[in-house]
Amino acid sequence: MEFTVSSPVRPVAPVRPGAHIRLVSPAMPTISYIPERARRAEQVLRDHGYTVSYGANAFQVSPDGMTAGTPEQRAADFMAAFADPSVDVVFASDAGQGSQELIEFLDADAIAATPKPFVGYCDNVYLNAFLARRAGISSLYGISHMVHIGEAGGAYPETLRYLAQALASDEPLVCEAMSDRTGALIDWYVPEREREPRGRNIAGGWTWLRPGTARGPLWGGEVSVLPDLVTDFGLDLHGAVLFWDISYHGMPVGPLFEALCERVDLTGLAGMLIGAHPLMPLPQWAGIVGGLVDRFLPDVGYPIVVNTDLGHTCPSWIVPYGEEVEVAADRIVFPRRGARTRAAVHPLSEGTKE
């Protein structure tokens, strides 16, 4: 399929507390498999002043049980959320697999005519890239409803703070290192275990492999999908800040990073951000990544930092995908310059379906 490349990414309008969040399920159907976690997550959003509704197909389950209905059903919910004037925010219930299947059924021009924030993470990055490169609008990357908002024991305070800041403010968005994180796996299918809060068992902090400052548009995603993401959406990495991480799939990072370097030119970046490993101590992960950088990118001089809070650890930053970012010292800053008219907040009864 051929696409025309959009104009440069523009920020979408911020929203105030009380905004109407439409939950859609572009990927896995965990919202149907673990309804208690879904209800818990919805209550968190309500308690923080948001109203909540669901796409018409949000609770569908495909015949193979792997996605929330057909690609057409999932894409229809995504399009309907953007078209509905009462909806202020489109939020992915979960990721995992399946988001890429929606792309051929999405209308970039229609979405561009009614821009609003989309929030997703992991596999949802295909939708973040689509919005940036086809519809020309930024979106938010870093969390999903089920994983982060439905956290047993309550969503982490940092998650809710970053969500509110990313959605509601047209001031610069500042992201700083978390004090600690969790990489513990969620046992989705054993309710007794899913209800157990995850301990924050990973120290926070960044590890600079090559120090410096960087500025440019932020692109990225999980390392195994990055080559296809760059190719399919024509991401221009020259002068960009690239982020990547590794998820729980267990694939060794070495071959994945080698494949990325073989298929994508990483020599012209402005900088590189690598997320913390969800299951590995910081020094060990920094050593592995440092060895890969020295092997495959020995001559680049741009700053590279590992163990950032962009990835599959929790809590995670929520960042504007495709917007300009400044990386320096122990923080990243999204200037978010330019006039951004605040979106209206529309009343809607809570917990309703589309």
Query: Between β-strands 324-328 and 214-222, what pairing exists: parallel, antiparallel or unpaired?
Result: antiparallel
With b for 16 or more beta-carbon neighbours within 10 A and e for fewer, the 57-78 pattern comes to bbbbbbeeeebbbebebbbbbb
- List, in sequence order, the alpha helices (H) in the chain: 30-33, 35-47, 71-83, 108-113, 125-130, 157-168, 191-194, 226-233, 253-263, 282-296
Predicted pLDDT at 337: 55
* E strands, 280-353, in order: 304-308, 319-321, 324-328, 331-334, 352-353
Predicted pLDDT at 7: 45
Neighbours of 168 (CB within 10 A): 17
* 180-334 has the same fold as 20-170+339-353: no
Read off the amino acid at residue 38: A
Q: Is the peptide bond before 29 cis (omega within 30 degrees of 0)?
A: no
Considering only CA atoms, which of 285, 304, 282 is closest in space to residue 293? 304
Architecture of domain 180-334: 3-Layer(bba) Sandwich (3.50)
**Residue 279 DSSP symbol:** T
Cα Rg, the chain, nearest whole Å: 19
* E strands, 156-247, in order: 173-176, 180-181, 202-203, 207-210, 214-222, 241-245
Read off the tokens for 245. 């991480």
Q: Which residue has the tokens 């001031």?
A: 171
Domain residue spans of the chain? 20-170+339-353, 180-334
CA distance to 41, 94, 114, 128, 164, per residue, from 221 (Å)? 24, 15, 25, 10, 22
Predicted pLDDT at 33: 92
The CATH H-level superfamily of 20-170+339-353 is Murein tetrapeptidase LD-carboxypeptidase, N-terminal domain (3.40.50.10740)
pLDDT string in tens for the chain (354-residue length): 233 333 468 888 889 778 999 999 999 999 999 999 999 999 999 999 999 999 999 999 999 999 999 999 999 999 999 999 999 999 999 999 999 999 999 999 999 999 999 999 999 999 999 999 999 999 999 999 999 999 998 999 999 999 999 998 778 999 999 999 998 888 777 777 888 888 898 889 999 999 999 999 999 999 999 999 999 999 999 999 999 999 887 789 999 999 999 999 999 999 999 999 988 899 999 999 999 999 999 999 999 999 999 989 899 999 999 999 999 988 899 998 543 433 333 323 233 333
Predicted pLDDT at 185: 83
